[in-house]
Amino acid sequence: MNLPNPPSSWERPPVESTTNRPSASSVLPPPPAARPPMPPSPTRPPAPSASGPTSLPKGRSVVRKLGFGVLALTAMVGSGVVGAFVYSSIDDDPLPPQRASEAALDVAEPRSSLPGIEVASVAEYVAPSVVTISADVDGPLAETGQSVGTGVIITSDGEVLTNAHVIEGASEVRVRLTGESEPRPATVLASDPGNDLALLRISGDDFVPATFAAPGSVRIGDEVVAIGFALDLDGGPSVTLGIVSALDRTIGTGDAFLDGLIQTDAAITSGNSGGPLVNAAGEVVGINTAVARGDFTIAASNIGFAISVDEALPIVDQLRAQADGAVRADGYLGVRLDERTDGGQGAIVVAVEEGTPADLAGILAGDIVIEVDGTPINGGTGLIAAIRDREPGDEISISVLREGELVEFRVVLTERPEA
């Protein structure tokens, strides 16, 4: 399935240069016995003190990239959180083996309602589960690039979830916990650029995993807090308050076609990528991934996107399977698409490749795809995302409008061919 190139407004921002900057505190408070209560939170953790400047590798130029991706507007974002807890000491243990954890993720029970958000309490409650991620990327001219982003600890034995674009092309990845001054080496277990999620692993145990909200529990109007290492600034985390503005948004950039996104007006900035969007109970409702920017034709203000818990949890299972050796193959339909310009919903089929699942099922050029397995399709990007979420051999139902009549097809997908 092909779609015309994404709008030029979808782009990554230029790599930003930085000078040497002080490292985080080397004076650490004692480890907490457990996560702070939620809510209320009676005290704030102490801020880390400054230490001397760090040195950069000699003989190589160093640039720093804040993970970020843009829609017309939009950009993928990347970063981390600094606080004042220490969970386990850094030692010389080797990296964990290239395998996924067997620990179950912590998913909350469904809630009928949530109170107004207590930002300070939520930020302190979530802080133990939020980490800063930095990755070295070697450029074509022997320069060293560094990508900075955020991650979320999801198991007590050290699995960390982040955006795939934060660690894309990395030769080395490091994770720094809230309150620690030194980063830990991390292993990339698996990455799914198409869904913009990656799974990392750090050595150790007794980490504090985040709790995920129950799938389907997020509502438009819910108050949320975005947490991330915004702009790679020194000091503590960036914490911003907003609401869930919309659900089931769809965007696309490069090889990533994302659907089921949460739209929020909580400010998301370069450096927030991979960080959590959390509700009033401190539960992760999404993984921050993109922000909308205006241009000379479009105005955009406080429009950010997070990969919803409904989408993220199944992808974690897929990433674990990849880490254990399974090969992840995208489903393939075999059509070229265009967007509707009449104000209607769906995607227009402009061509069908011979011998593909779409051709064998009877889909024709001119059909307008409006649903896949009963879920409405929002434009060509939405259809691509829906098909890529499936696997070769999956049988799906596709509903199309053909000359004003609703027609339904059963289609068995094949494997996406190499580009």
- Tell me which residue of 379, 391, 387 sits closest to 251, measured CA to CA: 379
User: Can you spell out the DSSP letters for 71-112?
Assistant: ETTEEE-------S---S----PPPPPS----PPPEEPPP-S
Q: Which of 59, 7, 418 has the alpha carbon at shortest distance from 251?
A: 7
- In the residue annotation, 196 being an active-site residue is answered as yes
φ, ψ at 127 (rounded to 5°): -50, -40
Pairing label, strands 184-192, 69-71: unpaired
Q: From start to end of 328-419, where are the E strands?
A: 331-332, 335-339, 347-352, 368-372, 375-376, 395-402, 405-412, 414-415
Q: Residue 384: which residues within 8 A CB-CB, separation 6 or more?
A: 1, 3, 252, 257, 337
| Active-site residue, from 9, 121, 129, 165 | 165
Q: How far apart are CA 163 and CA 256, in angstroms?
A: 11
* Whether 165 is catalytic: yes
Distance set, CA 116 to CA 112, 147, 354 (Å) = 14, 35, 55
Q: What is the amino acid identity at position 214?
A: A
List 9, 79, 129, 196, catalytic entry: 196
Strand partners for 70:
75, 291
Q: Which stretch of DSSP H or E encloses residue 182?
A: none
Run of H or E including 319 = helix 309-323
Distance CA 8, CA 301 (A): 19
Beta-strand relationship, 211-212 and 106-107: parallel
- Cβ pair 132, 162 in contact under 8 A: no
Largest CA distance in the chain: 70
Give CA 180 to chain center in angstroms. Answer: 24
Q: Are strands 284-292 and 69-71 parallel, antiparallel or unpaired?
A: parallel
Of 217, 245, 273, 399, catalytic: 273
Residue found under tokens 């400047």: 53
Nearest 5 degrees, angle CA 311-CA 312-CA 316?
130
| Spatial separation of the C-alpha atoms in residues 380 and 3, rounded to whole Å | 7
Residues tagged active-site: 165, 196, 273
